[in-house]
Amino acid sequence: MEQKSTSGLEFSVPSHASMVEQCPLCEFIFPTHENLVFHMMESHPTQCPIETTKEYEKLSITESDKLFIYHLKICSLLMLTFMGLAYVYAFVLVG
């Protein structure tokens, strides 16, 4: 099941897929409703119905929280990397 879109992208839905959400304003399709709401607000912010805008606000708060945790993980990973590297350098330069 393949279709050509105006954006030059091709979409293909796996045969076992249970859900296909179609963007009413362009040819993007998504496996979840959440993805569709995000897409509509990001790609067509001026043409969105009010319900979508409200749904987006709710979803983006949840996502912001997840993103916050994600960024905390990234920052700790950065710190760990720097410390690890500094440790290896110290070890090599002394030894």
Partner 1 sequence: MKGNFLFKHVSQLFFSITLGVCFLSNSVVAHAGGLPLTNEPAIIPTWLFVLTGGVIIGISFLFVSLVTQRQLIDKINGYHLSLPLPRLPRLNTPILTLVSVFLLLYTILLGFIGPQNPTSNFAILFVWVVWWAGYTMTVYLFGNTWEQLNPWKSLSTILPTLNLSYPSKLGSWPASVGLLFFILIEVGSDITYSPYLLSCVLLFYTVLTLLGSFIYGSDTWFKNADPISKFFRYYGAVSLLTYSNNSINIHLPGTKIMNKTNDAGPPAGHQVLFIITILFITTYDGLISTQFWNSKIIFPLLSFGIPILIIHFIFLLFGHGLFYAIYHYAILIMHRLSSTYISIQSLNMQFAVSLIPIAAGYHLAHFTGYLLTFFPAFFSTILHPLQPPMFYPNHLPFWISIFTLIFILLGHICSVWISHCISFKLFSGRLQPLRSQYPLIFVMILYTMFSLWIVTSPSV
Give the whole-angstrom CA distance, residue 88 versus residue 94: 10
Q: Return d(Cα 72, Cα 67) in angstroms, integer.
A: 8
CB of 50 to partner 1, least distance (A): 19
Q: Which of 26, 34, 41, 52 binds Zn ion (CB under 5 A)?
A: 26
Question: Interacting stretch for Zn ion, rule CB under 5 A, among 6-14, 26-34, 52-60, 82-90?
Answer: 26-34
What's the first-to-final CA gap in the chain, in angstroms?
61
Cβ atoms of residues 49 and 24 within 8 Å: no
Binding residue for partner 1 (CB under 8 A) from 8, 46, 51, 94?
Answer: 8
In the complex, the residues that contact Zn ion under the rule CB under 5 A are 23, 25-26, 28, 43
